[in-house]
Amino acid sequence: MTGTDAALKTRFLVLHDYGMGGSWWWVSARSEREIRETFAWVEVVTDPETVAWRGGDDDLEEVDIDAPRMPPGLDGLRSARDAQRGRPGFGALAGKDVLYLRRRWDEGDEGDEGDDESSEGDEDSAVYLMEVGPDGRRTRQVELSEDGSVVKSTPDDWPFNPPIVDVFAPEVAGQEISRAEFEEHWARARPFVGDAG
């Protein structure tokens, strides 16, 4: 790395959120997009309070994006991304503010660590229509069950909401639907009702 390369880099707070916890690093890179193109299943955290909170953590590893070796955890996320690069659809949906996707829950991205809280223990083959933000988190969801029921839910209905979509993953491009299709199902769906017990 030359002195010019170092001058072009900024230190970013990076999180791999796996639902019940997460792994954090400081990564020096030229842009947020470069980080997300280099590592699968990460997000760049920009919330000032979180950045200030993690900024005082001396245990957080500092990494240069161009380093030949990565620390444990981040190395596997880079390998996963390297395996996707060059495949049709890679990064096709990255950069969109909102995505609308259709998929069966077991059709998640490679490395998907998301969980479906609303059909836990269900063996049916429900289809999920999801509105997803650029960080890969659901903002709204419609479940289309085999029995014909249509249920809508939001983050208020889920115990936690980790990223469930890696927007750079090649397979995501084939799951995209139109906003109109999503809204049509959303309008006719009944609200999710949690377990009474």
DSSP E strands in the chain: the ranges are: 10-17, 22-29, 43-45, 61-64, 99-104, 127-132, 138-144, 150-153, 190-191
What integer pLDDT is reported at residue 173 of this predicted model?
95
pLDDT in tens, 71-91: 999 999 999 999 999 999 999
Beta carbons within 8 Å of 21's beta carbon, 6+ residues apart: none
Q: In angstroms, rounded to a whole number, what is the distance separating the alpha carbons of residues 99 and 129?
A: 10
Burial (CB count <10 Å: 0-12, 13-18, 19+), residue 22: middle
Alpha-carbon distance 90 to 86, whole Å?
7
pLDDT at 55: 76
Mean pLDDT, rounded, of the chain: 87
- Residue pair 172/89 in contact (Cβ under 8 Å)? The answer is yes
Q: Rounded to two decimals, what is the model's pTM?
A: 0.81
User: What are the residue ranges spanned by the domains of the chain?
Assistant: 3-84, 99-191
